[in-house]
Amino acid sequence: MNANADIAGVGTSGSAAVDEKEKSSGRVEDQINDEHLRCIEAMFHEADIEGEGGLSMNEFRIAIKEIMGDVNDEDLDNIFMKVDTNCDGSVDWEEYLNYMLLEYREKDSLQKQNRPLYFPKPLKIIPVSHCEPIVSLQFYPFQTQQADNKDAGGQDEPRRHPQLLEREIQTDPYRQYFFDISASKCDSAFCLTGLEGYIVVMDYWSDGVKSVFCLGDVEGCLTAFISSNVLQNGLFNSGAYKAGGSCRIPVPALLKNQSKYFMCFKVAILNNWCHQIRFLPDLNAIATCCLSDQTAMVLTTVPHSQKAKVYNSAFQIRKGILCFDYSPEFNILVTGGFDRTVRIWNPYINNCSISQMKGHSAAITHIVVNGSDNKIISISKDKNVRVWDLQGCTCLQSIHSRNVPMSRLPISSIHYNRDTNILVLATSLIGVLHGAVEHVDTSQKLKTSHEHSLCTALYNKNFKLVVSGCHNGVVSVWDILTGEKVMQFQTSPERPAEVTAMAFDAPKRRLITGSKDGTVRLWNFNNGALLLTLPMLDDNEVTGIIYINQRIYVSGWSKRVMWYLDVKEDMEMEYRVWNQYHSEDIYSMHAHGNKMLVTASYSGDIIIWNIDSGRAFCRFNASESPRPLLPKRVSPLISESVTVEAELDAKEKTQKRLLGEHKADRSGKLPPISVEDLEKPSLAVEQALFLGTRERSPDTAILLTSVADGHVYAWSIHHQGGLLGKFRAVHSKGLSINSMSTDQRNQMLLTGDSCGYITLWDIEDYCLSRRAEQDRAGHHNPTTTRLPSLIPHYCKVEGPRQRVLEETTEETMEEVEDGWKVRLNSPPLLSTWRGHLRSIVSIEYVERFSVIVTASLDCNLRLWTISGSYIGTFGQAQWRVGDPHALITGLPVDLRRVGSCQTLKVLNKGTRPHWNCARRILDNLTLQKLQNSANFSGSEAPKLQELVTSDPRITQYSSEQIEETWQRWQEKGKQLRVFKLMPCCPLMPIIQPPVPARLKEQQKTQEAGDLLAKQKRNSKRGPHARYIATKAGCKKFVASKQPIKGGLV
């Protein structure tokens, strides 16, 4: 078999084939509509053949297939098992309906929680020099001088003003002023005179040729000016008035004198003053709004000629309309007003709105719509900014007024840029809200699976789901085929408590969670429904949960093991607490079939229990003895004293061992022992793992434990057995193995350490008796694929660690303690790579798809192939297991910065940087040079040759060429090397210039004045004592007040 074939359910012959139904993204539950639901209800009442009020699994299949056609039986069985959480084999209509309602409710809540904010960043305040409210904001794109000159045309008459239109508040309310802002200064160009009403709103639109300029006044009148070619002819008809030096354009003259290039009209359409006006080119109409009930909003069509009639379409609504916007993508109008409701209108239907959205507590003063993003942004008088989903008509984000610190004034003006998704608000200040942009995917890359560190993760083979829990008490359910989050719920909504342990029941339909506060709960994890809360016998942290024989076994920091009987809701709960044999907190618990249970604690004690009797029959502790020990019962009342005595005994044994190891010097004194060695605690057992396929025998290890120093111990739990082997499973000191798991046939051991490294070991023959090996060889099926053979060759570890592993694997290494031999050889290392930045708390191998699921304290839950290829991180980009074209080709962003050569080689499927191979060669050559060896030594030559042949580009060189290169490099090393040149000129003597005589006199005069000032200061001081050191001692004298002649002493 080709080991380099892509593995992990992506074309692997060893993994099960993925059905076409699994590749499709749609689920059966999502395809059920209202009509199907009514038919299913009728089938529940009619298709009950046995008349027991419910449907069995077979009856449920038949009923659903009659309604929905040909559906996969596996999908229907999954639905049935999701609903039948009590495992009574029957589902009625009430159970089915409750499940569907809870599932849709939790999914809706999940979508709201995971929906990204439209404006994720807080409001940014821009200081301005305005003392009064800003009445208008306009976006002016910067242009070059050439573009301005091109737009200007050849006349001085206002033709370039379409790009430079501004309005200024004047004392005369019946004039409209235009300013030229093409230069750095703002000069008045011309003005409109003769306006009959007070202009309050205006709008300008141009497509580069045609332009429309419209005004709205306090009397509800609309005045519009249309130019067919604004670049050539300008906006206003210059022939209708006499151009003077004052550049005043009379509006009455423009209304009377029409031409084929210009058209203007004035109509009274509103019953109140106009609040907003805008030309809509897609409708060829001018929209206006006011606070009148009968003319809340009016659409005025722009006539195509002077003789055409102007048509108006009025929208009626109580209390009128304050603001509106138009979406050309959907051809809809959105409005807001004093009724605090956002309405969506069809522009051709003016009697009723399409939909309404309520949520504001004050009048809506500004509204904009972004059709490309399906969003509506509304702003109320109390400065509440809300973002609405245009299609779902739901509120996506609400920014409270306390998060808009822009003085006490209401929002007077806004500007929204749809391209950059930036919203600018104005009062007397200016605030900017930067929205999320879709093409910027940095947030998606940095997004983690959970907001808090993970504590554990489980795979459910019935539903093909991964369930993970974090320190904030949140449980998330993921689809392993796509990486999509299908469910999320909080285990302790009142006060978030850390989820510390999880397990499934025997049918794998319910989830059992244990919290830091000692609470144990049962859940329907498919819809987030809480089924049962077990009685709290202890408020200590739960670290282990196992479901065996209709019992729920719980262990933790209470140092005890207890079990609850899994009964129905109407039955009384039965529970028991076993005798205490641990003096420290229990860290791990695992089961061997349904007969034996193992618990491991911080003190290093490993207790083997009989599940039927609840008695401890064996104890192991590597710091005490490699042989089986008798369990010591601990009383809960004196457990503290026992713990202290155990620590003292451990320190005494450590001191004796250290004293025995240190040799005395010639004087007979022992060297001092460091405080760190004396204070070193007993080896705490992090994880305990049973090998379920192995049978108990004195020379077969069926129990693996990992301790805090990074070693993995192999134990035989037979009464004649003991510690059979141990090996170091980490690559550096200070690390420990925090998670372990195996495949179903116990061929491969998967470990995750505290630094985030994933390591695969071949343990099929590790610490296995010869008889068991022969039995396994006799029952070997040639068609069965061994998992170690699926690991590609490029995953092999190279470098110094490879040499250490080869020595510990090939040579037989043993340690004898109390007459008992312990094997020190490590099992073959298959592959290792770094998968997380922090400790891996859970690792599990999924047989069906040949993938590895890992959970870490870095808040990420990831999926890998058995060959080490990165599939994806749950909660980020989605994938499709089984489809190699839909997999993620990149690497995690966090691992690119810290990944070692081995990690990058595994993740890149064998490709690696050539500089690393060259660096290793130079390191070996430097080492030989330091050892004063001109030629390769016998032991280093094969290793160096192996390093050289590992790079395909270096294999083309022969050994003679490499030897010649080495000799040239050695000769050059003896020569003086010049690394940098710098121009230099000979040094010249420095000649000091002569000092002028006048300057010398000034210096002498200044020195004399300074001396005189010091003498005066000393004369003002009182007498003070001084001590002079002499040979006889210290002599005291009092200084005189008289100044000392001849200067200072």
**pLDDT (tens digit per residue) in 1037-1047:** 444 444 433 33
The residues that bridge with 1025 in the sheet, in sequence order, are 1038
Compute φ and ψ for 822, nearest 5 degrees: -120, 125
Asked whether the beta carbons of 48 and 59 are under 8 A apart, the reply is yes
- Phi first, then psi, for residue 273 (nearest 5°) are -70, 150
**Cα radius of gyration rounded to whole Å, the chain:** 42
Sheet of strand 529-533, all strands in order from the earlier edge strand to the far edge: 499-504, 511-515, 520-524, 529-533
Pick from 598, 823, 592: nearest CA to 722: 823
Helical axes 940-949 vs 914-930, angle rounded to 10°: 160
Confidence bin at 28 (pLDDT 50/70/90): low
How high is the mean pLDDT of the chain?
Answer: 78
Say how many Å lie between the first and final Cα of the chain, rounded.
Answer: 100
**Sheet strands (E) in 181-329:** 187-193, 199-206, 211-217, 221-227, 248-250, 262-268, 276-280, 285-289, 297-301, 312-315, 323-327
Which is more confident, 112 or 1032? 112
Q: Give the other-Cβ count within 10 Å of 829's Cβ.
A: 22
Report the predicted TM-score, pTM, of the whole model to 2 decimal places.
0.62
Residue 771 has pLDDT above 80, yes or no: no
Distance CA 317, CA 645 (A): 84
Nearest to 523 by CA among 507, 506, 504, 510: 510
Residue 1016 pLDDT = 62
Distances in Å between the alpha carbon of 871 and those of 443, 633, 784?
19, 48, 25
The span from the CA of 418 to the CA of 310, in Å, is 32
Residue 23, pLDDT > 60, answer no
Segment 188-203 shows an average pLDDT of 86
Cβ atoms 464, 82 nearer than 8 A: no
SS3 assignment, position 762: strand
pLDDT for 795: 85
Helix/strand/coil (H/E/C) assignment for every residue in 852-905 = EEEEECCCCEEEEECCCCEEEECCCCCCCCCCHHHCCCCCCHHHHHHCCHHHHH
The more confident residue out of 248 and 729 is 729
Cα(727)–Cα(174) distance, integer angstroms: 94
SS3 185: coil
Instruction: Give the separation between CA 119 and CA 117, rounded to whole angstroms.
Output: 5
Residue 937: how many other CB atoms lie within 10 Å: 11
Closest CA to 552 of 581, 523, 526, 584: 523
Beta-ladder partners of 178: 190
Q: Which amino acid is at 340?
A: R
Using alpha carbons, list the distances in angstroms from residue 684 to 275, 406, 587: 75, 58, 9
d(CA 8, CA 849): 6
The lowest-confidence range among 155-159, 813-817, 854-858 is 155-159
Of 43-52, 280-289, 387-396, give the lowest mean pLDDT range: 43-52
Please check whether residue 426 is in contact with residue 414, taking contact to mean a CB–CB distance below 8 angstroms. Answer: yes
Residue type for position 981? L
- Residue 579: how many other CB atoms lie within 10 Å: 14
Three-state DSSP class for 614?
coil
User: Tens digits of per-residue pLDDT, 635-687?
Assistant: 875 554 444 444 445 445 444 443 443 433 433 444 444 444 444 445 799 99
**601-648 per-position pLDDT tens digit:** 999 999 999 999 999 999 999 999 999 999 999 887 555 444 444 444
Highest mean pLDDT among 62-76, 702-716, 880-894, 946-960: 702-716
Q: Is the pLDDT of residue 253 over 80?
A: yes
The pLDDT, as a whole number, for residue 523 is: 93
SS3 253: helix
Least confident of 432-436, 552-556, 755-759, 797-801: 797-801
Q: What DSSP string describes 703-756?
A: EEEEETTSEEEEE--STT--EEEEEE-SSSTT--EEEEEE-TTS-EEEEEETTS
Res 659: pLDDT: 40
Q: 608 with 598: CB under 8 angstroms?
A: yes
CA distance 734 to 726: 17
Highest mean pLDDT of the ranges 333-347, 632-646, 781-795: 333-347
Q: DSSP labels for 617-640?
A: EEEEETTTEEEEE------GGGHH
Distance in angstroms (rounded) separating the CA atoms of residues 862 and 449: 9
Is residue 459 helix, strand or coil?
A: strand
> Nearest to residue 1019, comparing CAs of 1038, 1036, 1044, 1037?
1044
Mean pLDDT to the nearest integer, 497-505? 94
Q: What are phi and psi of 276, to 5 degrees?
A: -155, 145
pLDDT of amino acid 147: 39
Confidence tier at 231 by pLDDT (50, 70, 90): confident
In order of 29, 483, 674, 855, the CA distances from 25 in angstroms are 12, 11, 62, 25
Q: Which of 454, 484, 486, 485 is nearest to 472 (CA)?
A: 454
pLDDT confidence of residue 998 = 72
Provide the CB-side half-sphere exposure for 490 (13 A, CA).
Answer: 12
Q: Is the pLDDT of residue 115 over 80?
A: no
Helix (H, G, I), strand (E, B) or coil at 1033: coil
β-sheet bridge partners, residue 760: 750, 831
* pLDDT for 801: 60
Q: Report the pLDDT averaged over residues 130-142.
A: 78
Beta carbons within 10 angstroms of residue 353's beta carbon: 19
Flag whether pLDDT at 561 surpasses 90.
Answer: yes
The mean-pLDDT minimum among 236-245, 328-337, 465-474, 502-511 falls in 236-245
Evaluate if residue 726 carries a pLDDT over 80: yes
Q: What pLDDT is recorded for position 420?
A: 87
Tokens of residue 686, six digits: 């992090």
**Burial letters for 538-557: b for 16+ Cβ neighbours within 10 Å, e otherwise?**
bebbbbbbbbeeebbbbbbb
Mean pLDDT across the stretch 386-408? 90
Is the pLDDT at 479 greater than 90? The verdict is yes
* Residue 129, pLDDT score: 78
* Rounded distance between C-alpha atoms, residue 458 and residue 843, angstroms: 9
The answer to whether 287 and 240 have CB atoms below 8 angstroms apart is no
> What is the average per-residue pLDDT within 558-565?
94
Closest listed residue to residue 203, CA positions, set 268, 279, 139: 279
Q: Is the pLDDT of residue 277 over 80?
A: yes
Task: Decide: 303 and 227 in contact? Cβ < 8 Å.
Answer: no
Share of the chain above pLDDT 70, in %: 71
pLDDT value of position 78: 79
* pLDDT value for 305: 82
CB distance 746 to 766 below 8 Å: no
Check residues 585 and 808 and name the one with the higher pLDDT.
Answer: 585
- In this structure, what DSSP letter does residue 351 have? S
CA dist., res. 380 & res. 386, Å (int): 9
The whole-angstrom separation of Cα 492 and Cα 513 is 11
Segment holding 1012, helix H or strand E? helix 997-1020
Q: What percent of the chain has pLDDT over 90?
A: 40
AA identity, residue 870:
Y
User: What was the pLDDT predicted at 114?
Assistant: 66
